[in-house]
Amino acid sequence: MADTITLSVSRYRPEQESEPIFQDYEVPFHKDWAILDALNYVKDELDGSLSFRWSCRMGVCGSCGMMVNGQPTLTCAAFLSSYLPGPIRIEALRFFPIVRDLVVDITDFMTKLKKVKPWLVRDEEKPLSEGEYLQSPEQLDNYKQYSMCINCLLCYSACPVIGLEPNFIGPAAIALAQRYNMDSRDQGAAERLSILSQDDGMWQCTFVGECTEVCPKGVDPAGAIQRYKLTGATDWLKSVLLPWGSK
C-alpha cells in the first residue's frame, strides 16, 4: 500500500491570481480516509490558507461538494483508496462562480429554489383545533424520494444545460417542486406548474440524465423532471381540448 498520495488542488486567490491554478499537496494515505479528511490534513498541517466548505462529514448536509477528477462528488463520501495511485484532481464545483479556492457562490440556486415555492401551499390553513394533516404511508411514498435532496448542487454541476443556459432553473429545484406537488397536503401544484412552464423552467431540460447519475441521495431529478413534463403536456392538452373543465 502506498504511504502517501498527491492531491492536485485548484487554488484561486483573487488578490494574487486572475484565474485558478493547481497546487500539489502530498498527504498521508490511510485506507479509511475520505478526500475531506485529506483536505483537512492539508489545512491543518500543510497550508492553512486553503479554503473549502464542509460540515457534517457524513453525507447529509450537502456542503462539501467539489469536482474530483472531473466528476461532481461529495468529498466526505469519496475515499482516497478509490483514487489510487493518484494524483487526485480537486476543483470547485463546476458552473458556479468561484469565490476563492474551492468555495463557490450559490446565490443563484437559492433564488431559483425560492421561485418554485418549496413549502406546503394551501388555499386555506386548517385551524389548530382540527388537528394535524393526516397522511398514509402510501401517500408519503409518493414524494419521499424527492424529499431526500440535501441541496448539495452536484446535479447542477453535472447538467450541461446549466452550463449552456445559466438561467435554467435546474434539476434540484424542479425535483423539490415535485416533492411538494406530490405531497397530499399541498394544494400548490397549479401555481408551480405555471412557474415551471416558463422560459427557464422544465422545458429547457433535454434529459441528459447526468443529474441522476451524480446524485448522492438517489433523488432521481431526471425522472422527476420527465414526469413533470408529462404532467405539463397532459395539462396543456386538457386545457386546449376541454377548455370548459376547471383546474
Partner 1 sequence: MLKRLTPLLWFLFSAGGTVAALVFPAHMFVTTIAVPMGWLDAPSYASLLDLVRHPLTRLYLFVIISLPLVHGAHRLRYMLYDVLKLKHLTAPIVAVCYGTAVVGSAAAAYFLLNLP
Partner 2 sequence: MSDRVHYTPYHPKWYRRKMSVWWWLEQWRYTKFVLRELTSIPVAWFVLLTLWQVRALVEGEAAYQRTLLWLGSPALIILNIFLFGGVLFHAFTWFNLAPKAMVVRVAGKRVPDIVIVAQNYAVWIAVSAFVIWIWMKVS
Which residues make up the interface to partner 1 (CB under 8 A)? 160-161, 164-165, 197-199, 203, 206, 229, 232-233, 235-237, 240
Please state the closest distance from residue 212 (CB atom) to partner 2, in A.
9
- Nearest approach, Cβ of residue 161 and partner 2 (Å): 11
In this complex, which beta carbon is closest to partner 1, that of residue 26 or of residue 213?
213
By a kind-dependent CB cut-off of 5 to 8 A, residue 235 interacts, out of partner 2, partner 1, none, with: partner 1
The option from partner 2, partner 1, none interacting with 110 (CB < 5 to 8 A, set by class) reads: partner 2
- Residue 246 contacts by C-beta under 8 Å, 6 or more apart in sequence? none
Q: In 148-209, which residue ranges form alpha helices assigned H by DSSP?
A: 154-158, 160-164, 171-181, 189-196
Q: How many CB atoms lie within 10 A of CB 82?
A: 12
Q: From the list partner 2, partner 1, none, which binds 203 (C-beta under 5 to 8 Å, kind-based)?
A: partner 1
Q: Would you say the C-alpha torsion 136, 180, 161, 158 has a positive or negative sign?
A: negative
26 binds, among partner 2, partner 1, none (CB under 5 to 8 A by kind): none
The nearer residue to partner 1, 17 or 199, going by C-beta atoms, is: 199
Alpha helices in the chain (DSSP H): 35-41, 107-115, 137-147, 154-158, 160-164, 171-181, 189-196, 210-214, 221-241
* Binding partner at 111 among partner 1, partner 2, none, C-beta below 5 to 8 Å by kind: partner 2
Between CA 117 and CA 125, with CA 122 as vertex, the angle to 5 degrees is 135
Whole-angstrom distance, CA of residue 183 vs CA of residue 117 = 13
| Residues at the interface with partner 2 (CB under 8 A) | 12, 14, 19-20, 70, 94-95, 97-99, 105, 107-108, 110-112, 138, 141, 160, 163-164, 166-167, 206-210, 213, 220, 222-223, 226-227, 229-230
Q: Which amino acid is at 58?
A: M
